[in-house]
Structure 1
């Protein structure tokens, strides 16, 4: 059983980093400032984390894993055709980005905050590889799946950056654009 004090400390630190990173790039948040906002000592912080970015990416990755688990359950239930599944999965990620919108907006152009979008790209890469491995949908024989997954992941992250930069693009337009850019093998009906 996990000590409730550890759970409280982690929750307070995670809530504090979300609050602070919603106001400015995470690279501009000091450990001292984050520890104070969380009500923990610097030593306690360093017992669990290395940087404010480390805390933030843990929160983002956990939320992305939850989105992926929901998608896997939905696909396992086979309630929708692949094209609809793709739109739903894309919508799940857009919901995640909207939930942390200001954090992602701050991270768009600051190389020091690259880890925020790296978490998204890693998620998309892992998701794409798992999808190709388990869904029966994959590129033609002989095509390197890791390269395809990286290509798709960086494209999706780029689309999200473009969306965050243009207030005139709606959520629906983003989902439709990303879904329509998916390779044909991703959304074809299974034999």
Structure 2
């Protein structure tokens, strides 16, 4: 008889094998050349088992990267919550964590970078940066430029405004990371952090 705990442990082992397989394969060759059969073989599972965990190789890789990006976002939020009232956590801290993530996974990102990253990899980066920046503005609403129209006291309108600014900054940050990853070796993380931080609108830190 198989107990639920054993089933959970087995499912987690399978998930771990899948995540390890996609990271290894995507570091060796482009995501566009990796098939479900390749991943199933590398993870020692069947194709139906793969589809029980992911829809595609890109979906699986985005999920793996998303775990680390979620951790970065949560750490940024946690650090912000520890600050005294009125103080704003520098965006440089978020930028540094993002650059470190890309640097630690440089082989993976560079192997899949032609002009831009594949949609799945690009979208997961943009999504998590957008969420982090939207939360930053919700935590410090006084930073955002004054609304051009609409009622600034309307919570839904204010959220849409913050999401708009977060989307602009997130897309720009990912494009900057792609440009940096295309640089010759050795990659300079400190330079990337400074450049991205300087590229952020000044009001993100000091208000408008």
Q: TM-score, normalised by structure 1?
A: 0.89
Asked if the contact 1:57–1:115 (Cα under 8 Å) also holds between the matched residues in 2, the reply is yes
CA distance in 2, matches of 1:69, 1:25: 29
2:45 to 36, 40, 60: 40
Shift of residue 146 of structure 1?
2.3
Shift of residue 20 of structure 1?
0.5
Whether 1:159 aligns to 2:176 is yes
Deviations 1:123-169 (A, max 9, x none): 11111111111134532221532221111011100110010011265
Asked if the contact 2:116–2:178 (Cα under 8 Å) also holds between the matched residues in 1, the reply is no
Whether 1:188 aligns to 2:188 is no
Asked if the contact 1:17–1:52 (Cα under 8 Å) also holds between the matched residues in 2, the reply is yes
Whether 1:14 aligns to 2:19 is yes
Q: How many residue pairs are counted as aligned between the two chains? A: 187
Whether 1:172 aligns to 2:190 is yes
Cα distance change of structure 1 residues 63 and 45 upon mapping to structure 2, 3 Å threshold: same
CA distance in 1, matches of 2:195, 2:50: 41
Moved over 6 A (4+): none
CA RMSD after TM alignment: 2.1
Shift of residue 111 of structure 1?
6.9
Asked if the contact 2:143–2:206 (Cα under 8 Å) also holds between the matched residues in 1, the reply is no
Asked if the contact 2:138–2:162 (Cα under 8 Å) also holds between the matched residues in 1, the reply is no
CA distance in 2, matches of 1:67, 1:112: 20
Cα distance change of structure 1 residues 36 and 89 upon mapping to structure 2, 3 Å threshold: same
Show structure 1 runs of 5+ residues with no match: none
Cα distance change of structure 1 residues 40 and 123 upon mapping to structure 2, 3 Å threshold: same
Asked if the contact 2:143–2:205 (Cα under 8 Å) also holds between the matched residues in 1, the reply is no
Asked if the contact 1:105–1:164 (Cα under 8 Å) also holds between the matched residues in 2, the reply is yes
> Which residue is 1:74 aligned to?
79
